[in-house]
Amino acid sequence: MKTRILIMGTGPVAVQLGVLFHRYLQAEVAFVSRSHVSMCSKQFVDAVRQAGYIKATVQNEQHLKLTGEMTPSNVFPSYEAVEGTFDLLVLACTADAYTATLRQLPDSVLQQVESVLLVSPTMGSNLIVRAALQTIQPNVEVISCSTYLGDTRVTNADHPHEVMTMGLKKHLYLGSSQASSAWMTCLAQLFAQIDLPITCVSDAIEAESRNSSLYVHPALFMNTHALQAIFYGTKVPFYVYKLYPEGPITMDLIHEMREMWQEISAILQAMDVQPLNLLRFMVEENYPLRPETMDTSRIAQFESLPAIEQEYLLYVRYTGILIDPFSTPDVQGFYDDFSAVPFRKISQNQAGIWEIPRMPYEDYYRTKIIQGLGRTLNIETPMIDVLLSRYETALQQFNSEQPHLKKSQQFFPQAFEDDMACIQQGLNAH
């Protein structure tokens, strides 16, 4: 009997995963859409109905193992419409939507699910999902990825069922809520087949913590310069990874980044999880530096160095990737402008409602959840508190200046009460 997989989501991530599950697991793959409330989701449903397939291509030939096409076994028009039995439920939506998504699925479906895969969780998502499912399916296994496997996009808006993966991560971490997991083995084998190195760790929250954006995005996106660019725009492009005034990176920003890393490390230690050597993670698993830029012994010793030296090394790391240090210079000696990633400004969706870009809104949710973990564990997080307060103040200021704009809920400070309650419940049972 074929493995049956249900993917919650209809975006590029969902399509790429659907192709992989079909190609390497020979699974029957169904999708759940929000076509009754989302224009993008409706376009996906219509495109699949018309074409009869979904398709994944790649930008680079070395990633051909990610390509393929398949016919979904079903594309449900809404969560409530889902029926049938599934072995694996894949949450390919943003982490802030996990609990709301699960609560809209029929209990009869959830009761039959053996395992749930969280594709892009935050630190604490595994706890939250298990707590949310406790009364419906108390024995469910929840597996967390450290992050999504790559960078996948829709390249033609008229064909949302066809996606292209532009790049693949260097390394992923997987962690399960159960000590023995057939699905962990299965997923690790799948990722090995596409040449993606995997580390299976003993605790799901350890896997969730192996994502550098948790540590660096709040400082990069929740400073006054970045918030100005996001909410009001700038006369010329303002770049995420450049030094001030071309971008937001200053000594103060680096100090805030280091402080947040320390606070997350304290939370991990309280949960008996090994903290991250942030600098080594950045250099080895994100973007490497030339060996001439920084000695490897300093990277290895990063956690034990004085605070001021840690900040110096983090600053050097960002200067070392202002250009792509491994690119070929042009005839004038200029290397690829690697750090020229502009801040995205707020924009209107197809329904005319203003929305905040995924960065920083997704980072806001993730950081609120980390703050909630700290509070539940009685760990002070003064830097996280400052970053969140700064972001929420920017929301309130924008709302007071633009009261008549049609805005999404993203523009209002949120407590995420349901997820916070799940954290408390999950930690009490941890």
Residues sharing a CB contact under 8 Å with residue 267, sequence separation 6 or more, in sequence order: 123, 370, 373, 374, 377, 379, 381
pLDDT value of position 38: 84
Locate 318 and state its tokens.
């960002």
pLDDT value of position 52: 97
pLDDT value of position 429: 79
Burial of 33 (0-12, 13-18, 19+ CB in 10 A): buried
pLDDT value of position 314: 99
Q: What is the DSSP string of 60-100?
A: SGGGGGG-EEE--SEEESSGGG--S--SEEEE-S-GGGHHH
Q: Is 430 a catalytic residue?
A: no
pLDDT value of position 144: 99
pLDDT value of position 27: 98
Which residue reads 């049956």 in tokens?
4
pLDDT value of position 153: 97
With 0.85 as the threshold, say if the pTM is over it. Answer: yes
pLDDT value of position 36: 75
User: Could you give the CA distance from residue 238 to residue 103 in angstroms, rounded to a whole number?
Assistant: 40
pLDDT tens for each residue of the chain, 430 residues long: 899 999 999 999 999 999 999 999 999 999 999 877 788 899 999 999 999 999 999 999 999 999 999 999 999 999 999 999 999 999 999 999 999 999 999 999 999 999 999 999 999 999 999 999 999 999 999 999 999 999 999 999 999 999 999 999 999 999 999 998 999 999 999 999 999 999 999 999 999 999 999 999 999 999 999 999 999 999 999 999 999 999 999 999 999 999 999 999 999 999 999 999 999 999 999 999 999 999 999 999 999 999 999 999 999 999 999 999 999 999 999 999 999 999 999 999 988 999 999 999 999 999 999 999 999 999 999 999 999 999 999 999 999 999 999 999 999 999 999 999 999 999 987 7
Identified catalytic residue from 217, 255, 404, 430: 217
Largest CA distance in the chain: 65
pLDDT value of position 1: 81
